[in-house]
Amino acid sequence: AQTVTQSQPEMSVQEAETVTLSCTYDTSENNYYLFWYKQPPSRQMILVIRQEAYKQQNATENRFSVNFQKAAKSFSLKISDSQLGDTAMYFCAFMKHDAGTYKYIFGTGTRLKVLA
Amino acid sequence: DVKVTQSSRYLVKRTGEKVFLECVQDMDHENMFWYRQDPGLGLRLIYFSYDVKMKEKGDIPEGYSVSREKKERFSLILESASTNQTSMYLCASSFQGRVSGEQYFGPGTRLTVT
């Protein structure tokens, strides 16, 4: 069975600094997708960034980038130039698609606080 | 913009009551999901539907049922609410054809069972 582990329940970072959130997963699959979702306080969860396992190149979205290490089963999120609006709960997620069935596994989340 | 809405943001029910949580999406998504979010446990899948009237059990279906009579609407039903069902409930939807996998989430319903 697949598992997703986020070992940092809480983190803080000074505004404008860089922070890295860690995520490891366990799977025997070769083709899958990995995601980071952001859930701001009292607001809807939104997708931050997505990585297809078959792509070696790390995904980037503006200030957000990932370090995807397939062999190590590691998928960390780096936030550069942190902003107060980045304060949120961040969830790492694994998804496998197989014959119409979508299997999503979420980590337990990392609560990030950006300090002014 | 994709919009996923949930019928209530906050709900307080008594033990033994029948509870309906409704979710509506406006982007013609085939897949819809109900999750439960608890501190330290992340999101756990309750039920998943990939088409009208179709459903699959997730990881924690006990005590819950679902209904999908129309493509845009997915309901979660607690037949007899219990205090251990006090939680945040999140609905999500996604396209089936495009395997980008992105899920779109509703704002959540915080249910308290007393």
Give, for all 116 residues of chain A, the pLDDT tens digit. Answer: 789 999 999 999 999 999 999 999 999 888 899 999 999 998 899 999 999 998 889 999 999 999 999 999 999 999 999 999 999 999 999 998 776 677 889 999 999 999 99
Q: How far is B9 from chain A (nearest CA, A)?
A: 10
State the Cα torsion A109-A112-B2-B4 to the nearest 10°: 60
DSSP E strands in chain B: the ranges are 4-6, 10-13, 19-25, 31-38, 42-51, 54-57, 65-70, 73-78, 87-94, 104-105, 109-113
Q: Do A104 and B40 touch (CB under 8 A)?
A: no
Walk me through the domains of chain B, giving residue ranges and CATH numbers.
18-98 (2.60.40.10)
Nearest C-alpha in B relative to A4: B42
**What CATH number does the domain containing A33 carry?**
2.60.40.10
Q: Measure the CA–CA gap between A12 and A19, rounded to whole angstroms.
A: 8
Token pair listed for B9: 């943001």
- In terms of residue numbers, what domain contains A50? 3-115
pLDDT number for residue A101: 72
Q: How far is B104 from chain A (nearest CA, A)?
A: 7
Nearest in space to A66 (alpha carbons), one of A31, A102, A105, A92: A92
Nearest C-alpha in B relative to A5: B42
Q: How far is A108 from chain B (nearest CA, A)?
A: 4
Mutate to test the interface with A, among B100, B104, B109, B110 (most CBs of A within 10 A): B100
Mutate to test the interface with B, among A3, A44, A91, A92 (most CBs of B within 10 A): A44
Dihedral pair phi/psi, residue B90, rounded to 5°: -115, 135
pLDDT number for residue B18: 97
Residues of chain B with pLDDT below 50 are none
Q: Do B102 and A50 touch (CB under 8 A)?
A: yes
Q: Do B100 and A50 touch (CB under 8 A)?
A: yes
Nearest C-alpha in A relative to B99: A97
For chain A, what is the domain count?
A: 1
Nearest C-alpha in B relative to A52: B100
pLDDT number for residue B97: 66
